[in-house]
Structures are given as structure tokens and as C-alpha cells.
Amino acid sequence: MDSGLDFLNKIHDRIPVSLEILPPNRGLGLDAIHSFFEGLKPWKPAFVSVTYHQAFKVEENESRIWNRKKPGTIGVCAMLKFQYGLKVIPHVICGGFSSFESEDFLVDLDYLGLDTILALRGDPKKGDAEFKHHRDGHRYASELVDQVMRLNMGEYMEDVKEAKSTSFVVGVAAYPEKHREAVSLDVDIQNLRNKVNAGASFIITQMFFDNQVYFDFVERARNAGITIPIIPGLKIITSKRQVEILPEIFHTKMPADLCSIIQRCENDFEATEIGIKHAISQFKGLEEYGVPCIHLFSMNNLTPITSLLKGVQRI
């Protein structure tokens, strides 16, 4: 039976490599994204996932207005699919969406033939300490996965005669070092299992800087009965400051020796060189372990991605 996971097939017997990109900031247009993908040619990623950014409220002239820094997720996805012929995976979040609005979003994706998604809860809105769900929306990603699976069975929010079933393949996120809100890694893995039971077919992990963390996590997930592919997420360090901010934002530890080498760098250029070397070593270790795919958090930054791909003989 077709699992919908063909994009994880090996290419020339080599482990596939995928990319995460961000839509441009409001008003900047697509030039930088075109340059990024033109710069990678003729190499093609196994898939490109495109982030989604929730709107947040800002105070301006004593009134509160909504702002979304990076609109355009669906547009970027459609452009990459039709103009570059890429397999594209939009991120779909719960935050800010009622279930009806989630359904409308999914209908648009279905009409565009974007049949694989990454279902996420979303982070707390900028300025909020905790995640607040839409009062008519989902609290957890598992509920969104469940909604997508119901659409796959032709069950819409309203009764529809002769409804057309969608055929979404759904990925979800996981955190090898535990999601920051989870009381323990075991509880987090149980919650991950709920997402798999709801219908997820693949997992993409948060970044980590020590492969052993991922290997241990995969073992624990397998012991908990999770059998679907667990794709490691890999981030290249590109500045001295990231040694402090990445662990803070993404709740990941950085190996002490890596931290001290980067802290001793004169500037960000040197830090990036170290970051690329470290990412190449992580990449090779993950390849050797036999991961299903390696997902690069590109931050739309062509130069380090190209250096990494050269370093692992992909381009």
C-alpha cells in the first residue's frame, strides 16, 4: 500500500536531505527565496518544509493591532511546488485558528495538491508566557492530526453530501531533549505516541547538537511503541551569540567543548566555520546510524547550507 512517504526514499542509495525555510518578512517579496533555491541548483532537497507564523497583538498609538511578521506560508509553498517542482510540506499550526479556520486552511492546501503537512501546536504568541489556544480551536497538535484524519475520511465540520475525502500525510514534531512544558521525557513521549495514534506518519525532531541525544531518544520512542520514521533536525551554528540563544529558545543543550571553541572565536565568520564543521560531523554520524532523512533548518541562509552539502559530498 502507498504509505505517502516516497519522499523518504533513498536517492542513489544515499539518505535524503530536506530543508526547512521561513517565509520572508512582510513586504520583502520572494527575491531572497528565489536566490536561495537558484543557488542550490541542480541539487534538489527531498522536500522543503515551510514554517507558519502566528499573528500577535502589538500596541501602537494607544490602540492594539494585529501583526504577522511572516505571512505567505501557502503562497511560498505553491510557488516552490509549481515553479521549482519541489515536494513541499507546509507547517500547519493550531495557535490562532478555530477548527473551522483550520479546515479552511487545509481545504486550500488540498486544492493546491499540497498533500503532506507538518501538524504543530505552535509556540506561545510573542509576549505571552504560555500557549493559549483559540477558544474554538485545538489545544494540542494531536487534535489537529485527528481533524486532518477526519477530513481524510470525508468528515468536514458541517455535514456535506458526497464529501470528497482528502489524502493528507501528516508529520509531527518531537523533542529529543523534551518539550519545555512536559514534566518528563517519558510523558512527552507518551504525548508523541498520542499524535502517532491519531494518524501521524512521520516525525521531525527539534535541533540537537549531540547525536547521542537523538540516538537515545529514538531508542526510548521505539521502546514506547513508536515505529514511524523519526527525522533528525539539524541546525548549523552561524554566530557566536547562538551559543547562548539557541539553548534558551529551543531548550537544547550545547556540548561544553563546542561552546568554548565558539566563544573563543574572533567573529561570526569564524563561529560559522566551526558551526559548519560541527554540522558536517553530526551529519556523517547520523548517516552512519541510518536515519530516514536529515532535515536542515536552513534559516534561508544559502552559504552555510552549501558548505555543509559540499562537506558531505551532496553537491
The residue ranges that bind ligand FAD (CB under 6 A) are 51-52, 54, 91, 93, 120-123, 140-142, 173, 179, 181-182, 188, 191, 194-195, 204, 206, 233
Would you list the DSSP string of 230-295? EEEEEE---SSTHHHHHHHHH-----HHHHHHHHT-SSHHHHHHHHHHHHHHHHHHHHHHT-S-EE
Supply the minimum distance, in Å, between the C-beta of residue 77 and ligand FAD: 12
Supply the minimum distance, in Å, between the C-beta of residue 141 and ligand FAD: 3
- Please say which residue, 191 or 301, places its beta carbon nearer to ligand FAD: 191
SS (H, E, C) 145-198: HHHHHHHHCCCCCCCCCCCCCCCCEEEEEECCCCCCCCCCHHHHHHHHHHHHHH
- Please say which residue, 182 or 259, places its beta carbon nearer to ligand FAD: 182
Supply the minimum distance, in Å, between the C-beta of residue 132 and ligand FAD: 12
Supply the minimum distance, in Å, between the C-beta of residue 229 and ligand FAD: 13
Largest CA distance in the chain: 66
- Please say which residue, 182 or 228, places its beta carbon nearer to ligand FAD: 182
Supply the minimum distance, in Å, between the C-beta of residue 19 and ligand FAD: 12
As a whole number of angstroms, the distance between CA 256 and CA 129 comes to 29
- Please say which residue, 213 or 265, places its beta carbon nearer to ligand FAD: 213
- Please say which residue, 160 or 245, places its beta carbon nearer to ligand FAD: 245
As a whole number of angstroms, the distance between CA 68 and CA 58 comes to 10
